[in-house]
Amino acid sequence: MNHIAVFGAGSWGTAFASILADAGNDVRVWGRRPELVEQLNRGVNEDYAPGIELSSRISASTDPERVVDGAGIVVLSVPSQSLRDNLTQWAPLLTGEKIIVSLMKGIELGTTKRMSEVIHEVAGVPLERISAVSGPNLSREIIQRQPAATVVACPDERSADTVAAACQTSYFRPYTSPDLVGAEIGGAVKNVIALAVGMASGLGMGDNTKATIITRGLAETTRLAMALGADPRTMSGLAGVGDLIATCMSPLSRNHSFGVKLGQGLTLEEVTAQTKQTAEGVKSCSSILELAHGNGVDVPIIEQVNRAVHEAVPVTEIGRELLARARKSETD
């Protein structure tokens, strides 16, 4: 039996730990709060996966050393903006031939780095041993064992295959890909587009409006991904359009729901106060915008989401601005 470490006992960390356990691995989860760790050791996580009985193959601890001891794969699932601080403490433990898996879908504020870049920089792990798992993977559906697929992206095929083999179950199908950049950009940008779709929903707009934002959002994502060297085919796959559809259309998506509330007229502070879980797009819209501008990529939807979220521009106003732009060819 393989031993796999999972850092982060939130919604996705717990759901992914369940996949790994169902795939036959012995899973040790690191959690920050002793009371949550105690829940996991009783086979539940009422804070992030209410009503779900967890596998007896999952155990938990607040001690990172104990969690990592003997693990060949280490999975990271903390909020993107806290990764650097956390990793600084965990880096001395990530030695040897361990494969590091990022489940996170965000871009770091201040540096505009993708999560694999942060891991490489802070922990010194070569990119050949860093993979990202990304796809239409809403944690609540996955932990209920509803069928879904995902992408395990890593420049090294053997590392990707090792991770894919570790998380394949009867309901979860991992595909491998060498396109780490594309998978990470697809995963981070779809959160911002889901905020925009949520805002339209909150304003009472229907499916034409949502489909328009999703489609033009995919165009922005693809432009940015290609400027960063990604394979455009990733954008028509699970980590691109697949995740975009799930996140933009599902009431289970925290980013979508956050956008709905902004569209209904709540302020950023009000929605933040009501939101217990991580909606990565709220912070990453600024870093993604900076990344796009730094690479000369036009991202009008992301730009307007950033104005609505961080400059308190009314949601009605950003819609008007998007529609008033100069005409252009669809494929430009």
Ligand X SMILES: NC(=O)c1ccc[n+]([C@@H]2O[C@H](COP(=O)([O-])OP(=O)(O)OC[C@H]3O[C@@H](n4cnc5c(N)ncnc54)[C@H](O)[C@@H]3O)[C@@H](O)[C@H]2O)c1
Helix (H) or strand (E) holding 219: helix 207-227
Considering only the stretches 6-14, 90-98, 211-219, 306-314, report the one whose residues sit in contact with ligand X under the rule CB under 6 A.
6-14
247 binds ligand G3P (CB under 6 A): yes
Distance CA 167, CA 217 (A): 30
User: Cα 187 vs. chain centroid, distance in angstroms?
Assistant: 5
**x-or-dash pattern for ligand G3P, window 123-142, by CB under 6 A?**
-------------xxx----
> Closer CB to ligand X, residue 79 or residue 178?
79
Query: Does residue 113 interact with ligand X by CB under 6 A?
Result: no
Q: Does residue 77 interact with ligand X by CB under 6 A? A: yes
DSSP 13-78: HHHHHHHHHHTT-EEEEE-SSHHHHHHHHTT-BTTTBTT-PPPTTEEEES-HHHHHTT-SEEEE-S
Exposed e or buried b per residue across 320-331, where buried means at least 16 C-beta atoms within 10 angstroms of its C-beta: eebeeeeeeeee
> How many residues of this chain interact with ligand X, rule: CB under 6 A?
24
Q: Tell me if residue 190 is catalytic.
A: yes
Q: Of the listed pieces 163-171, 239-247, 293-301, 323-331, which binds ligand G3P according to CB under 6 A?
A: 239-247
79 touches ligand X (CB under 6 A): yes
State the residue for tokens 């979860």.
172
Please state the separation of Cα 178 from the chain's center in Å: 18
Residue 45 binds to ligand X (criterion: CB under 6 A): no
> Is 80 within 8 Å of 105 (Cβ atoms)?
yes
**Which segment (7-15, 164-172, 196-204, 261-269) binds ligand X by CB under 6 A?**
7-15
Q: Which among 92, 242, 231 has a CA at the least distance from the CA of 155?
A: 231
Tell me the two tokens of residue 244: 């975009």
Active-site residue (options: 190, 210, 261, 283): 190
Is the CB of 257 or the CB of 304 nearer to ligand X? 257
Asked whether position 12 contacts ligand X by CB under 6 A, the answer is: yes
Stretch that binds ligand G3P, among 53-61, 122-130, 168-176, 242-250 (CB under 6 A): 242-250
Find the shortest distance in angstroms from Cβ 247 to ligand G3P: 5
Q: How many residues does the chain have?
A: 332
- Distance, in Å, from the CA atom of 221 to the CA atom of 215, rounded to the nearest integer, reads 10
Rule CB under 6 A: is residue 254 a binding residue for ligand G3P? yes
Of 149, 182, 185, 192, give the one whose Cα is nearest residue 167: 149
Chain contacts with ligand G3P (rule: CB under 6 A): 105, 136-138, 191, 194, 243, 246-247, 253-256, 280
Q: Residues marked as binding?
A: 8-13, 32-33, 48, 105, 135, 139, 190, 243, 253-255, 280
- Cite the annotated binding site for NAD(+) by residue number: 8-13, 254
The residues annotated with a catalytic role in the active site are 190
